[in-house]
């Protein structure tokens, strides 16, 4: 589908993956009719991925060693411990306030200051 959107390759395209229910999908199509595409028939079949006996997947050769993964996890945990959670919470609340104001629902904002 991405190839159909790009056409000759001169147009940039952004794509996101979402898990939507059929009802949500129909609603999205109703609101975005100009962006709707019909499913394209594939002229070629993709080869099926079958494991041959005695051969390993090429992905296993590129796997990260276990000790490297644990070092990465330790590093992430250290960085999370260094984060200023109060600042993150404040930033998140500010973003939510801005969003509510943009969609004209700022009457729902309750400040805890008063």
Q: How far is CA 72 from the centre of its chain?
A: 22
pLDDT digits (tens, 9 = 90+) for 52-98: 555 555 555 555 566 678 888 888 888 888 888 888 888 898 898 88
- Round to whole Å and give the CA distance between 12 and 18: 20
Q: 6: pLDDT confidence band, cut at 50, 70 and 90?
A: low
Residue 7, exposed/middle/buried by CB under 10 A (0-12, 13-18, 19+)? Answer: exposed
Q: 72: which residues sit within 8 A by CB, 6+ positions away?
A: 64
71 backbone φψ class: left, alpha, beta (φ>0; ψ -120 to 50): alpha
pTM of the model: 0.30
- Round to whole Å and give the CA distance between 5 and 61: 35
Reported as half-sphere exposure (CB side, CA atoms, 13 A), residue 37 has a value of: 10
């Amino acid at each position: 589908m991405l190839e159909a959107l790009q056409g000759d390759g001169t147009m940039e395209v952004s794509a996101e993956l979402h898990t939507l229910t059929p009802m949500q999908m129909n609603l999205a199509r109703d609101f975005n009719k100009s962006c709707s595409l019909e499913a394209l028939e594939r002229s070629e079949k993709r080869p099926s991925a079958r494991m041959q006996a005695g051969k390993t997947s090429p992905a296993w050769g590129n796997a990260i060693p276990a000790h490297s993964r644990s070092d990465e996890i330790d590093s992430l945990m250290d960085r999370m411990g260094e984060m200023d959670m109060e600042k993150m919470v404040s930033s998140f609340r500010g973003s939510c306030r801005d969003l509510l104001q943009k969609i004209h629902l700022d009457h729902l904002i309750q400040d805890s200051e008063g």
